[in-house]
Amino acid sequence: MELYKKIGFILGPILFLVLVFFPTEIINPVAQKVLAVAAWMICWWISEAVSISTTALIPLAFFPLTRIMSVKEVAVSYGSPIVFLFFGGFVIALAIEKVNLHKRIALNIIKITGTNADGVVLGFMIATALMSMWISNTASTVVMLPIALSVVKLLTNDADGFTKKDQNFALSIMLGIAFSANIGGMATLIGTPPNTVMLGILENDFGIEISFVKWMSMGVPFAIVLLTINYFIIVKLFYPNNLGKIDSSDALIKTEITKLGGVTKAERQVLIIFCTTALLWITRGYLNQLFPALKLNDTVISILGALAMLTIPLKFSKGEMIIKWEDTSKLPWGILILFGGGLALASGMKTAGIIDLVGSKIASADGLTVFMVTSILIFVMLFMTELMSNVALATIFVPVVAGIAMGMDYPILGMVIPVTLAASCAFMLPMATPPNAIVFASGYIKVYEMAKVGVVLNIISVLLLIGLSYLVIPIIFF
């Protein structure tokens, strides 16, 4: 175990014990205990001394032990509708991956964008972003990377070897995949874990609901703008390749598509279920107006989609389903526990009055405007997410930001949404997100090459998010 992990491992419980047994007079005793648990969790989350999902179980044991909340009250967070919303999304994504539908869609998108080197990069970026809207950004990157490596190898094996132009192309395609995987997830509520953490905290603790269609009406255009800027910054500004047409790439993509064979019955069935689920998410508001007795919500729709994947038979006579329950062993169950732990911590902070206290302290500070506070919070979140898990960071930050918004008498969504999106704008370091780490492992990228592009994209993202919070969010959500 690395030294920083050892320090974090020991420091977490020590802080907990100090705060519990040596309380101060600044806040009430219950709040002091909540802060003790929070300090322990933050130490372990930052240092990753143990799995972040393991850390998320701490409230389930220590909230009852310290008499903050009962087991029953804490356990409600781990069984929140938001947890099941994401569970349903995971099952649907698992089915898409199992039948290779995501790879077929990605390859056909790349085929459409042409064989020009810049067009190939754009194709990979669009395909990765579209997949990341619905399946995990890690899975999207894992699917795209081998195909991208095959295209890059075409250049290394040509007559002139691996030139500077080829190197820039390789850098562009690798960075494009990683950054697009991060960006695509912002477009939907289930696309990236921070979005789901935010949704759960808003519904559980503040009674605020955000529909799929409302989020997408903001998220999709924002993702398109950020993706376009990423493309031009990478391909035109930092790593122009000037290669023109790559003759062999078209044949390679066609070969990969040929390997998949014809569209199977399983793929068609998964596509129908997926499209139906997405359509229900988008139109549920209109359906509830037409049929008030339905009372559809995003979680119910997600579970219906999952049930359809698990129960509608491919071959009724043989009882063969698209996916079996045994396949769900591949689901990231730890992420679901992480959501529950985050919701439990946020609930404890609200119950103890910490959120209200933070909000009132910020609101009473002289000279701080809503614009200044929102901008600072976006900046802090975006650059901190380079160093620690964006899910853990969103879990800690979102309830506090909501409290600040309430204290300043400003709509909660105006601050919470841009700050949550900032958690997905990690473009500087390989350890910031799984996609960054995966493409870094390809060997075609050095840390400084990612960092010099990333710092520019981070600053641009801060400015875009500030603009979003004042120009777009009020129109859609207020």
In the three-class reduction of DSSP (H, G, I as helix; E, B as strand; rest coil), residue 285 is classed as: helix
Question: CA distances (Å), 323 to each of 122, 220, 275, 300, 311, in order?
Answer: 33, 30, 17, 20, 8
3-state secondary structure 159-185: CCCCCHHHHHHHHHHHHHHHHHHHHHH
What would the two tokens of residue 65 be?
């032990």
Torsion of the alpha carbons at 190, 193, 194 and 196, rounded to the nearest 10: 50
* Alpha-carbon gap, residue 424 to 137, rounded angstroms: 11
Q: How many CB atoms lie within 10 A of CB 73?
A: 15
Q: How many CA atoms lie within 13 A of 3 on its CB side?
A: 0
**pTM value?**
0.75
Q: Reply yes or no on whether the pLDDT at 188 is more than 80.
A: yes
Query: What's the pLDDT tens digit per position in 212-235?
Result: 888 999 999 999 999 999 999 999
Dist. CA 285–CA 48, nearest whole Å:
41
**pLDDT band at residue 391, thresholds of 50, 70 and 90?**
confident
Residues 6+ apart with CB under 8 A from 474: 411, 414
Q: Rounded to whole angstroms, how far apart are CA atoms 410 and 256?
A: 52
Contact 199, 477 (CB under 8 A): no
Work out the pLDDT band at 363, boundaries 50, 70, 90: low
| Residue 414 pLDDT grade (very low, low, confident, very high; cuts 50, 70, 90) | very high
Among 70-74, 151-155, 319-323, 412-416, which stretch is predicted with the lowest mean pLDDT? 151-155
Instruction: Tokens for 247, please give them.
Output: 């003759």
- Whether 168 and 310 have beta carbons less than 8 Å apart is answered as no
Residue 447 · residue 432 · CB < 8 Å: no
Q: Which residues pair with 245 in a beta bridge?
A: 116
Given this model, what pLDDT does residue 229 score? Answer: 95
Is the pLDDT at 431 greater than 60, yes or no? yes
pLDDT for the residue numbered 46 = 75
Q: What are phi and psi of 248, to 5 degrees?
A: -80, -15
pLDDT for 225 equals 95
Number of H helices, E strands in the chain: 23, 2
Query: In percent, how much of the chain has pLDDT > 70?
Result: 93
**Which structure tokens are listed for 297?**
């919500």
Q: pLDDT by residue (tens digit) across 99-152? A: 888 778 777 777 777 667 788 888 889 989 988 888 777 778 877 887 787 777
| pLDDT for position 249 | 65
In the prediction, which pLDDT does 365 show? 67
Bridge partners of 167, per DSSP, are: none
In whole angstroms, what is the distance from residue 385 CA to residue 289 CA? 40
> Using the 8-state DSSP alphabet, how is residue 367 labeled?
T
The one-character DSSP state at 116 is B
Asked if residue 164 lies in contact with residue 240, where contact means CB atoms within 8 angstroms, the answer is: no
Q: How far apart, in whole angstroms, are the C-alpha atoms of residue 411 and residue 416?
A: 9
What the block records as the tokens of 435 is 């996609």
DSSP-derived secondary structure for 449-466: HHHHHHHHHHHHHHHHHH
Q: Using CA atoms, how far apart are residues 461 and 186, in angstroms rounded to an integer?
A: 12
The pLDDT value given to residue 26? 63
Burial of 37 (0-12, 13-18, 19+ CB in 10 A): buried
How sure is the predictor about 337, in pLDDT bands with cuts at 50, 70 and 90? confident
Highest mean predicted confidence (pLDDT) among 196-200, 224-228, 442-446: 224-228
**Residue 156 predicted with pLDDT over 70:** no
Q: What pLDDT score does 278 carry?
A: 81
